[in-house]
Structure 1
Amino acid sequence: MLHRVRSKVYADFVPEFDATSVAKIKAAGGIILGKAVTTEFASSDPSPTRNPWNLEHTPGGSSSGSSAAVGGADGSGCAGSQTGGSTCRPAAYNGIVGVKATYGRISRYGWAPLSWSLDHVGILTRTVADGALMLTVLSGADDHDPGSLREPVPDFSAQMAEHDRPPRIGLVRQYYQDYATPEMWAHTEAVANLLAEAGAEVEEIPVRGGPPVNHSVRAADYGPRIRAGMEMGMIIPTSAYLKAQRLRRQFRADFSEMAAKVDVVMTPAMPAPAPRDLNTTGDAAFQVPWTAAGLPTVVVSTGLSELGMPMAVQFGGPWAQEGRVLGAAQWCERIAGLNQAPPNY
């Protein structure tokens, strides 16, 4: 399935060409089942989508329809997007796999931009193997996207198989434990212990500093939250924006240094399971550091909360090392041994 921008601004818009990612799916023989709704312009105003695990809980966003469709078994895979946490958070909320590759790995040509310096095309699937296959199909340099990554595209499925073994895992306690609910952190530690018992080497690693801030016309046609963000952005002086970008470069360097010390870094995928609140898309705090740094991450569902909502962990790795992260995620997927589906599906 595909990702469709939801907004009154595009109410009568009919695209005249396929986005590069869509064209690649078609060229590889993929069957497009339909288009799933996003939050408005992939931002914070919720879409009408519900979580298939419990219709009173948010599916997350911005990839709301995409994640709910895959979580409800309406398709084996779907494209999404991530500017803060819009692929991996809804993947966690809906009990599926979310893949955010290195910044620029997948062309954004043909996608409606939210932030050119942060936007990623994301992948939502039911298994890590399907995520690796979609990543291989979608990746590659594109002259139409100035931020496109020029690195050679490997066979991610082959790389994943090579790294599908007990990894050396760096568990980040700093910031994540403080921000997670006791239930979510206890679950993360339980998963870490399970992986250690299966042969992984788990050690705690520190991260320097905290996560960076990544927020830096027809007003009546936009939802209140995205409109507020635009209005706030218009009053930020250029000097403050440039300073924020310099701080982000330093943060990227620090985060990359941390990720290079182990095979993969492991954190909770979200501070808490999907909230019982349809007026929110949830909290992207655990994805924002990885998105700002542009480093690859994979989210894997690892259990259910006391209320029966999906719980998940997140694996991250160094720049352009998606195969390493996919391998660890697939190994975790197998060790966890889950085969869960929403009620009545």
Structure 2
Amino acid sequence: MFRLFKKSKPVKIRSYHESTKYGVAAKDLKELLKKGCSTLKLSFSGAHVCLYSDGTEVTEEFFQTLPDHTELVLLCRDQTWSGVVFDISQLLNTDRHANDLIEAAKGLLSDEQSPKRRKILTDLLLNMEDRSELESREEDENWFKGVDARFKTKSAYMKFNCESRIRGYMKDVENTTKTIQKPRVRANFLKASKRLAEMLKTARYNGCYFDRTEKKPDRLCTQEGWFTCQGSFDQDMCKSLHSINPYGSRESRIVFSTWNLDHRIEKKRTIIPALLEALENHKATDINLNYFYCQLFTRENLKLVHIVCHKKGAHNLLCDAKMIFGQASNQNKGSRKAEKRKRSLK
């Protein structure tokens, strides 16, 4: 009898798969389920209702406390709802309505005063307006603004970008020659430097690391061009999960220039000094230059890191002493020791 005098509560209801919301008025949960199932054409058996915002299941008692026009989700027997997070997940997994979302974000951004919300909307737009599927200058002229005219594709420029960084590392090695005082050591270091340069040239300066058209083992990005931060030198992975696609937009390309190919074992503090020290008493032919090449110019010792994950302090990591000299050098050392023993026995 009391139910006859209950006031109907207006709510907004939607289904699991659709974002369209319908206004429904009901005196209790049972009536809401009946009307909701009828409106959304769902089976009444096993149907249940959750809050759209956080997925809390609505009971009869809870229903009576809800404010008018609360947003609800009507679910079938085996369906669950995790709240607004579910919609975000759906958004990340589909390009559906992407253009509408971009326009909506632009509209919100034009009126938004909160710096925090403006930052969120700006980041959203940066990632939604993704033109990474375009490759040539003709297709995406804006991406190439400020890029030398000789580059006709994004991949060609990104490859050059990586080559330039690696060439810079080689330049650091070559510049060390000027600081060496002893002529013999300087001559040996120059030989080693030239050999490293030849090896690097043969490998095309490892420009493949940034080139998305290269094969998977050789590139650092996905086929679409996404790069993931590999974490600081002392971590196995990036705890902040930084990622970027410089192929997607001009702004992303520019931001990517702040990411570093960081040496785990440091180039200037450790690797080059170790090479120089080894050449103090050995010829260039005695040195395991393959080891130094890998430490200076390859992914064996290089990590791609977001600027936030780039630790500039001393890494305190040393070169592997067992790898510095080649096998031939070790054999020569053994021969010299044997000769000394023979002479001492005479």
TM > 0.5: no
- Structure having the higher helix fraction is 2
- TM-score bracket, normalised by the shorter chain, equals under 0.3
Query: Computing the radius of gyration over CA atoms, which structure comes out larger, 1 or 2?
Result: 2
Q: Taking structure 1 as the reference length, what is the TM-score of the superposition?
A: 0.20
Higher relative contact order (CA 8 A, sep 6+): 1
- Structure having the higher strand fraction is 1
